[in-house]
Structure 1
Amino acid sequence: MSTHAKRERLLLADLLEASGPDAPTLCEGWTTRDLAAHLVVRERRPDAAGGILIKQLASRLERVMDEMRAKPYEELIQLVRTGPPRFSPFSLKQVDEASNTVEFYVHTEDVRRAQPDWTPRELDAVFQDTLWSRLERMARVMGRGAPTGLVLRRPDGRTVVAHRGLPVVTVTGEPAELLLFAYGRQGAARVELDGDADAVAKARGTKRLGY
């Protein structure tokens, strides 16, 4: 049975392949080759992947990233598509689903929405609800860097508080779009912001909320 993570993995691999190694992404300074290298390091080089979050390991991460960037692009795509080796925790279905559903969705959109002619994907209600449940769990952590109070709101009225404070900005959109906003892709997220004009400008201009 296919999982959300598996589906997004294959979609991302196909998109990276079709885009070629030099296409832009929403990840600042990264081409599709850089993004592919990041995905491979994250799953296959735990000795270096910690540098994503731990500053002391950042130099090692960059060295390993350079090694990956030097590989043939086709090899990187194949490593992304086939997934982690059997000994990796990411090879476990439950870990893969928990860790990679959001990761692969966001990075797929990083590639898609960097193109001038992109259009929104039609996502089914089950997947939207899955992304909403992840957002509910992560919102407080991701929103801690927000410069204002921040409430994320679905069109049906369900909300989650990402950051307490005043003034409050309410961001309304489908879960997938709210997730992109919370991951710092504010400029590409199809959302509406309501609140004091200065606060809205601050919330929209924040480079990264959390993560």
Structure 2
Amino acid sequence: MARFAQLERHALADLFLAVGPDAATVNEGWTTRDLAAHLVVRERRPDAAPGIWLPLLRRYSERVRGELAARPFPELVQMVRQPPAWSPVSNPLTDEVANLMEFFIHHEDVRRAQPDWQPRDLPPGEQAALWKRVVALSKLHLRRFPGGVQVVADGYGDVRTGAGGEAVLISAPPGELVLFFSGRQRVARVQVDCVAALEERLRNGRFGF
């Protein structure tokens, strides 16, 4: 069985070292050092990880992330590259489910913040795995969208969602759609066909978690 989460993890770790700790990322205000520290908090600090999602706990989570970011960058990257086996999100049973989208997105967060980036030609198996995430993400974010939305990835599938009304077609390879529905619309190469007002709403919507 292909382990695409591991491939994305190691490729991201290699890219971290190649661009250095102060390179830009797609995440506004975050350098590569900040992003690496975020990943370490998520996997290694169960006391602080909930603050990634819960506003009430965010101050503590950010403090821990700052402490980790102060470590030597190669050490921090090694912690990303080799997560602990006890981590609830990174053990052999959960790794592919919990980490494929996480590491694909953050790999692209670094890639697409660098000059002259181009989309990668992902393996069909990885695209198929990402498509499953697209189905869930599109239904989550667009179930109340004021239109009849069809999301299409040629060769992988299509899904319909939205509250009904004006026709909306969103098409791209699965990886691009994952980025689009995780709040990276400005760097995702996605075709949107609908009236201008709905397209603007989609391209500027607050997707993600």
TM-score, length basis structure 1 = 0.91
Unpaired stretches in structure 1, ≥5 consecutive residues: none
Find the counterpart in structure 1 of residue 87 from structure 2: 88
Find the counterpart in structure 1 of residue 134 from structure 2: 135
- 1:189 matched to 2:188: yes
Find the counterpart in structure 2 of residue 113 from structure 1: 112
What SS is found at the alignment partner of 1:89? coil
Please give the per-residue CA displacement for 1:35-84, whole angstroms capped at 9, x wherever unaligned.
0000000000111110111111111111111111111111110100111x
**Contact 1:147–1:202 (CA under 8 A) maintained in structure 2:** no
Find the counterpart in structure 2 of residue 169 from structure 1: 168
| C-alpha RMSD of the superposition | 1.9
CA distance in structure 2 between the partners assigned to 1:55 and 1:142 by the alignment: 20
Find the counterpart in structure 2 of residue 12 from structure 1: 12
Q: After TM superposition, which residue ranges in structure 1, 4 or more long, deviate above 6 angstroms?
A: none
Aligned residue identity for 1:209: F
Unpaired stretches in structure 2, ≥5 consecutive residues: none
TM-score, length basis structure 2 = 0.92
Cα distance change, pair 144–59 in 1 and its aligned pair in 2 (3 A): farther
What SS is found at the alignment partner of 2:134? helix
**Contact 1:26–1:111 (CA under 8 A) maintained in structure 2:** yes
Find the counterpart in structure 1 of residue 178 from structure 2: 179
What SS is found at the alignment partner of 1:93? coil
Find the counterpart in structure 1 of residue 102 from structure 2: 103
**Contact 1:148–1:167 (CA under 8 A) maintained in structure 2:** yes
Using the TM superposition, give the Cα deviation of residue 19 of structure 1 relative to its aligned residue in structure 2, in angstroms. Answer: 0.8
Please give the per-residue CA displacement for 1:107-140, whole angstroms capped at 9, x wherever unaligned.
0000001112001111111111110012223332
Identity %: 47
Aligned residue identity for 2:126: F
Find the counterpart in structure 1 of residue 22 from structure 2: 22
Using the TM superposition, give the Cα deviation of residue 154 of structure 1 relative to its aligned residue in structure 2, in angstroms. Answer: 1.1
What SS is found at the alignment partner of 1:119? coil
What count of residue pairs does the alignment treat as equivalent? 209
CA distance in structure 2 between the partners assigned to 1:2 and 1:172 by the alignment: 26
Cα distance change, pair 36–148 in 1 and its aligned pair in 2 (3 A): farther
